[in-house]
Chains A and B, each alone.
Chain A
Amino acid sequence: MGSYMFMVLPASILFLIFHTIPALMGIFYSFTDWNGLRPTYNIIGFTNYFNVFKDMDILNAYLFTFKFAIVTTIIVNIISLSIALALNSNVKFKNFFKGLYFMPYILSMLIVAYIFNYFFANFWIDIMGYLGIEKWMVNPLGNEKGSWLAIVFVTVWQSAAFNTVLYLAGLQTIPEDLYEASALDGANKWKEFWGITFPMIAPFFTINMVLSLKGFLQVFDQVLALTGGGPFGVTRSIALLIYKDGFSGNEFAFQSANAVIYFVVIVAISFIQLRYLQKREMNL
């Protein structure tokens, strides 16, 4: 017992100081009118919370963030499951490919974003010119319609690696004899996938879906580095809006309220997702 306490206590104290207390302070400030600079502030109750729902910038940020998170989650999961299936089969140089596909995840998102910033500003236009697609010969990051897709692309490129590893781990838990039995019954590859592989990795599918959606709802670094929320604010994510307007827009208390609401929304979504997907696991 004593040695457990010895390990738990320092961590809990650090956690309390650096996470719990700032979080509680943030919640406290969301009930004030503090602008982040003034030495004094008043407690104004739920006014900030009501105003969050009236703010068009925040509404647009929610729309962008959800659109981005849902699309990215779907694409990331399709791609990473496909890669995992391929890597789990008997291909040559398997470990080399595993390493190769994991590379992007080792790089920092900011570095990836700056590389792609250069790519879109210089090579993209040339590639589209070469392919003869004149309509797309623009820098997608500066384009109202293309910028969010460019961010989706870069995010998928970087984060599919992590989900691939989780799916690979899942695929290795499936006993070989199940496949042998299905082969004897004459199942084709497609049937084998839906009948054996997918149900057997259902828990991994659940965790991948929940982690991806939660992660992409908090999208921040790639937006900051790729577009800074532009052009004219169409790619402003909620986290970016909270950071920018909260710290440099003198809306500290107001954006704290936004952050609290956002926190509740993400917890609720993750909870619902878990409930639903786990129920589905049972049925399979």
Chain B
Amino acid sequence: MKKPLSLALALIVVISTLSACGGNKEASENSNKEEASNSGKIVKVEFFQYKSEAVATYETLIAKFEAANPGIDIVQTNVPEAATVLKTRIAKGEVPDIISVGGDAQFEDLATNGILADMTNYPGQANVIENYKKTLQLITGSEKLLGVPFAANANGINYNKDEFTALGLTIPTTKGEMDKVLETIKAAGKVPFHLTFKDAWTVLPAWNVFAADLQSSTFYADRKAGKTTFAADHKDLLAQYIEFMQNGQPGDRFADGYNDGNAKFAKGSSVMYLQGVWSIPEILKANPDIKLGVFPYPLSNDKSKNFLVSGVDVLYSLSATSEVTEEATKFIDFMMQEDNAQQYVDEQKSFSAIKNVFQNDEVYADLKPIFEEGRVADFPDHYINGMALDVIMQEFMQKKNVDDALKKMDTEYDQMANR
């Protein structure tokens, strides 16, 4: 019995550790077939995009584009676990012609590994708000633009308008006003924030604003040069952050994850909710009648320092190895036309990175002046993509030990730099 069993053991282990590679093979065979049928006069352009919410919007826009350009067939690819799928496909050398991702760690990986074409001289860049182009440059650490920003998100505090009216509250604009709002809510026996620490990343939306508003402006450059550490610069920041986060629901704050939190906030478990605007469609799904608003975090008494954190939510980039770049560029041109960009932000409830295209939904009425004023900052965690910041902060939320958290941040930062 011994021999067949250990052989079987060995095989089972091999299967389970490497089955992902087997899966890739099938995928590549399929796309090879697709390529073979490309020989007709219709040019196929693969458009890989990561937002499952946007599939229907893109379908209508693609139909409109194809009607105007009969020689081009845009194939939209949207799969679950898009980041992993894209990575395995690139590993096999099957790079989609147009890649649409967010301005995040994944984009950094694609850009710094030479997957994407240089779009610095793409004419459409002229219509994009400068700040978002700078964001892309900061993420990739290069002067080149390896993509063109299309849509943006915003990370403020979601609030329940009816609850605010019932408690006689107005939107706080300074730290002092915010403290009063929190006191009023607690005095009325209600919960200010519904926290969802079971999912580690849900601690980050708030952290990003604390870092954007409170860390010294040259922190990341200084940290890179070894002139400062997290322990030296972030001590006060973390102390304020943990104090702020104590306004959560009573009981276990690690019980719910992101999805539970969206549903519970929608049903009135708290007056405010610390999530970016990406959560709003989900909240409305859980309770279509809720009246929502968003305001920027008031963390400082100096109003000009209370930034709205906004990042690139959707960008378009081209494969460096695509053979249909001309047709692919045509589609990007089409998406960047004002009417199409407007349709996208209207349906997706996001913000446009294109000049003169605005989000007019009443949910965002409080944010419009902030955008106009330009009091907008980028997500600070983009600078430290390789650090498992969510995990460190989740642990910090449970143990509440500022010095431990700072030490971990410095250790992980150094490790990341060594890689």
Contact = CB atoms under 8 A, between A and B. Distances in A.
Interface in B35-57: none
B6 A267 contact: yes
B138 to A, nearest CB: 19
Contacts of A220: 16
A217 to B, nearest CB: 9
Interface stretch (B83-91, B124-132, B214-222, B279-287): B83-91
Contacts of A125: 251-252, 255
B198 interface: yes
B252 A139 contact: yes
A233 B13 CA distance: 24
Main secondary structure of the interface of B (DSSP, over half): helix
A38 B113 contact: yes
A263 B17 contact: yes
Interface stretch (A19-27, A83-91, A104-112, A178-186): A19-27
A196 B10 CA distance: 34
A231 B14 contact: no
Given A142-B255, A239-B17, A242-B17, A232 B391 contact: yes
Contacts of A259: 17-18
A142 B12 contact: no
Contacts of A22: 18, 21-22
B398 interface: yes
A37 interface: yes
Nearest to A271: B6
B278 interface: no
B110 interface: yes
Contact of B398 (A144, A203, A242): A144
Contact of A267 (B13, B21, B83, B395): B13
A270 B14 contact: no
B392 interface: yes
B255 A26 contact: no
A18 B21 CA distance: 8
A232 B391 CA distance: 5
A137 B109 contact: no
Contacts of A218: 13, 16
B87 A141 contact: no
B260 interface: yes
B198 A141 contact: yes
Given A121-B260, A242-B17, A19 B22 contact: yes
A232 B17 CA distance: 24
Contact of A26 (B6, B17, B115, B251): B17
A233 B351 CA distance: 34
A138 B255 CA distance: 6
Interface size band for A: 35 or more
Nearest to A118: B260
Contacts of A141: 198
A165 interface: no
A260 to B, nearest CB: 9
A39 interface: yes
Contacts of B11: 19
B79 interface: no
A159 to B, nearest CB: 15
A149 interface: no
B417 interface: no
B388 A267 contact: no
A231 B398 CA distance: 10
A252 B87 CA distance: 11
Contacts of A262: 17
B146 interface: no
Contacts of A239: 16-17
A93 to B, nearest CB: 34
Instruction: Identify the interface centre among A142, A220, A248, A262: most chain B CB within 10 Å of its CB.
Output: A142
A207 interface: yes
A211 to B, nearest CB: 9
A142 B198 contact: yes
Given A37-B110, A233-B391, 11 more contacts: A37-B87, A121-B260, A139-B252, A139-B255, A142-B254, A207-B1, A231-B254, A232-B398, A247-B88, A248-B83, A263-B13
6 closest A-B pairs by CB: A142-B254, A139-B255, A232-B395, A138-B252, A22-B21, A142-B198
Interface of A: 17-20, 22-23, 25-26, 35-39, 121, 125, 137-139, 141-144, 203, 207, 210, 214, 218, 220, 228, 230-233, 239, 242-243, 247-248, 250, 252, 259, 262-263, 266-267, 270-271, 274, 278
10 contacts: A19-B14, A37-B87, A38-B113, A121-B256, A143-B252, A230-B391, A231-B398, A232-B398, A242-B17, A278-B2
